Amino acid sequence: MGKKMTVRSRFGRAMNAFVERAGSLAAAGRRLGRTAPALRKWMASGRMPRTEYTGETRYVEKILKLVGDEFTRDDLLPKDRKNQG
């Protein structure tokens, strides 16, 4: 029987795939118009920034374009966390 995957682990796996496909943390940051430290902060917290939950930014769309069908919007913006800004 497999171990149940947590929200944080799905988020982390999606972000790791994005960074890997971009080539580096710095390259991933450039794709989003952000810095490597900003992405590192998201990865450490296990969530996207508040602006993504409120619709002010569209980072998830850009990330999903690069990681393809392996991950979903809910992996990066889980429903149970959308109102936590």
Count of structural domains, the chain: 1
What is the rounded distance in angstroms from the CA atom of residue 7 to the CA atom of residue 46? 8
Give the pLDDT score at 68: 85
Q: Could you tell me if residue 1 is inside a domain?
A: no
Neighbours of 52 (CB within 10 A): 20
Q: With contact defined as beta carbons under 8 Å apart, do 31 and 22 qualify?
A: yes
Q: Could you tell me if residue 85 is inside a domain?
A: no
- The confidence band for 78, taking pLDDT boundaries of 50, 70 and 90, is confident
What is the rounded distance in angstroms from the CA atom of residue 10 to the CA atom of residue 15? 9
pLDDT digits (tens, 9 = 90+) for 17-27: 999 999 999 99
Q: Could you tell me if residue 81 is inside a domain?
A: no
Which domain does 17 fall in, by range? 7-75
Q: Could you tell me if residue 20 is inside a domain?
A: yes
Q: What is the CATH number of the domain that holds 69?
A: 1.10.260
Rounded to an integer, the average pLDDT of 31-54 is 95
∠ Cα 69 3 17 (to 5°): 30
